[in-house]
Structures are given as structure tokens and as C-alpha cells.
Amino acid sequence: MNNNLLQQIEKYKIVPVVKVERAGDTGRLCEALSTGGLPVAEITFRTPAAREAISAAVKEFPQMIVGAGTIVNVEQAKMAVDAGAQFLVSPGISHKVIEYALNQNIMIFPGACTPTEVMRIMEYGLSVAKFFPAQQYGGLSTIKALSAPFSDIRFMPTGGISAANVKEYLAFPKIAACGGSWMVRPELIAQGRYDEIRRLTEEAVSLVGE
């Protein structure tokens, strides 16, 4: 795993989870995140525009850390890597996706919510697991319980993370970073409210920096 890249993600503490419906929105969205103080984005493969959006983000904002989320098969993983994604995030465990990422020397955060899933991730030598959907699977209390027997694993909780609870999550040392979409809600992007995205991003950066 690329420790330098992981350290950068840890420094920012929040990974904006982005759903891009129109690739043409990518530039202004990335500009809002960057000027707001969060030059990092997980662009999810939940829309047909994902690959083009990742490519645009990488080319137009080379200073940003751009990853691909909701990777559920190797085909998506290949598209993401070909587009320039620097890391991959999966909602669960796909052994083929993990093995592809490791063979390509691409950082990957597979999803894990149970002890069995954590152990499967550990078998690959990975040290950070996505915990999704965080709130529905017991949130921080479950992460703390899992951390007891698995002291070498850290988590990136996503799902239900907001300005109201992100600091509580980040206060636990086994949290590497939190994935969140509250500053990049789909309706804000659809309505072109990039000033609001920037404001919410600045607010989030200030919040976790306190």
C-alpha cells in the first residue's frame, strides 16, 4: 500500500464521496473542494459518468488525490485505474478486485463490517478497511469492538457520517479517515451550487481541524 498517499488522506481526515451525474460538472466541483481545503475526492461508480469524471479530475486538478468508489468488479477497477484513479474503494470484499489492485500497486480500501471480513482483508496484508454503511452497522461502537481483536486494522467509516458526528469518529485512533458526502450532496451538484459546496467544505475542514 502506498503509505505516502495514505498519510495524505489521513492528514485531510475526510474523503468527500462524490456522485457525478454529468462529467462536465467535475471541474467546478473539484475547484470547490480544493478551494474549500479538501483536495481529495472519491468519485463513485454509481453513474455512467464516473470514468470520464475521474479522468477530468486527474487532468484538470493534478494536485488533488482522486480515487474511485463503489468498485464492485474488476472491469470497473480497470476503468478507474486507466482513468488515473490513485486509490480504489469497494463497499464489500471482492477477492478479484483486491488482487487486481495489489498487482497494479494501487491502494484499495475494501469494505468490512464483520470479524470474518476483517480477517479476509488482513490475509492480503491490508491495514485499512472501509466500514460501510457505518451508522447502520453500529457506527463507532462496532468499530471499537472490532478493534479489540484486530489491533493492526484501521477503518474508514462511510455512510451516515456528517458534520454532527465526524469529530466523534475521528477522535478514535483506529479511524484513518472518514468518508462523507454531506458537503457534496447530489442536489447541490445538480443545482450548480458550488459556492455552497465550497462553504460546507471549509466548514468541514475547520471542524475536524479544531
**Cα 184 from chain centroid (whole Å):** 13
Is 202 catalytic? The answer is: no
Is 174 catalytic? The answer is: no
Active-site pick, 13, 19, 42, 52: 42
Q: Which residues contact 168 (CB under 8 A, 6 or more apart)?
A: 140
Active-site pick, 52, 130, 144, 210: 130
Q: Which residues contact 15 (CB under 8 A, 6 or more apart)?
A: 9, 40, 41, 42, 67, 156, 158, 177, 178, 179, 180
In 3D space, the residue among 53, 52, 90, 186 whose CA is nearest the CA of residue 41 turns out to be 53
DSSP state of 175: B
| Alpha-carbon gap, residue 166 to 157, rounded angstroms | 10
Please list the active-site residues: 42, 130
